């Protein structure tokens, strides 16, 4: 699935550029996007995430296009959870949180009558979505993330070059689609 690998690479590069401390923290612990974001991209966030938020994600996908919308939602979820993720030292805890708890930051802790009404039946769907989420805030935050077609094209060219070089050198185990970088531990510790 080269398309998936490209999107994971683009996501990782966006994370590196927009949240360098978080990128290095995850990188040092071996929590690559392949461990947690693959399911996001393959299921368009429908796997294990609240339906009331997934439907809003789909709205933005239809509005802005699949590639940009998925990456924006992925990045905004990482940004909103950065403090919590930076506190975690264990890879297992990190990946579990990244797979299951990212949307918790959008739980409406004091829902108003209108937010309960807006969530419709999804707010009480027999054990699935027991929480009320601030879906509008999620969409607004995602729309504010600066992801352009130009930057994604730059990352696509990088990925193609890395893939070509890896194929030529015949070191597939060394040439993961996640490029290796020095994280400068002192800078982001």
pLDDT in tens, 15-68: 999 999 999 999 999 999 999 999 999 999 888 788 888 998 999 999 989 999
Q: Number of folded domains in the chain?
A: 1
Segment 3-21 mean pLDDT: 96
- pLDDT at residue 5 tops 80: yes
**According to the model, what pLDDT value does residue 110 have?**
85
Q: Which residues of 64-85 are buried (b: 16+ CB within 10 A; e: fewer)?
A: eeebbbbbbbbbbbbbbbeeeb
**According to the model, what pLDDT value does residue 182 have?**
43
**According to the model, what pLDDT value does residue 120 have?**
52
**According to the model, what pLDDT value does residue 142 have?**
96
pTM: 0.81
Q: What is the largest CA-CA distance in the chain?
A: 61
Among left, alpha and beta (phi > 0; psi -120 to 50; other), residue 48 is left
Higher pLDDT pick, 91 / 128: 91
Higher pLDDT pick, 130 / 23: 23
CA dihedral 53, 54, 58, 61 (to 10 degrees): 90
Segment 69-91 mean pLDDT: 96
**According to the model, what pLDDT value does residue 13 have?**
98
For residue 50, give Cα distances in angstroms to 103, 115, 122, 142, 165: 8, 15, 8, 16, 41
- Tens digit of pLDDT for each residue in 83-127? 999 999 999 999 899 988 999 999 998 877 666 555 554 444 444
What is the extent of the structural domain holding 176? Answer: 2-188
* Cα separation, 140 vs 14, whole angstroms: 18
Q: Among 19-23, 79-83, 128-132, 182-186, where is mean pLDDT lowest? A: 182-186
* Partners of 133 in beta bridges: 107
**According to the model, what pLDDT value does residue 131 have?**
83
We report the CATH number of the domain holding residue 82 as 1.10.472.80
**According to the model, what pLDDT value does residue 107 have?**
92
What does the angle CA 177 – CA 15 – CA 68 come to, to the nearest 5 degrees? 85
Give the residue ranges of DSSP H helices in 33-184.
33-43, 51-64, 66-80, 82-87, 91-100, 113-119, 135-144, 149-169
* Cα separation, 124 vs 116, whole angstroms: 9
């Amino acid at each position: 699935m080269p398309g998936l690998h490209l999107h994971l690479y683009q996501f990782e590069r966006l994370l590196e550029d927009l949240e360098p401390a978080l990128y290095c923290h995850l990188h040092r612990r071996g929590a690559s996007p392949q461990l947690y974001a693959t399911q996001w991209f393959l299921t368009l966030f429908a796997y294990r995430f609240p339906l009331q938020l997934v439907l809003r994600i789909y709205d933005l996908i239809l509005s802005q296009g699949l590639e940009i919308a998925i990456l924006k939602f992925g990045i905004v979820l990482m940004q909103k959870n950065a403090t919590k993720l930076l506190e975690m030292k264990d890879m297992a805890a990190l990946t579990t949180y990244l797979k299951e708890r990212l949307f918790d930051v959008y739980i409406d802790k004091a829902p108003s009558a209108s937010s309960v009404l807006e969530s419709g039946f999804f707010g009480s769907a027999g054990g699935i979505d027991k929480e009320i989420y601030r879906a509008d805030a999620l969409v607004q935050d995602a729309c504010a993330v600066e992801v352009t077609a130009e930057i994604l094209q730059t990352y696509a060219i990088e990925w193609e070059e890395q893939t070509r070089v890896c194929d030529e050198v015949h070191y597939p185990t060394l040439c993961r689609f996640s490029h290796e970088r020095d994280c400068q531990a002192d800078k982001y510790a």
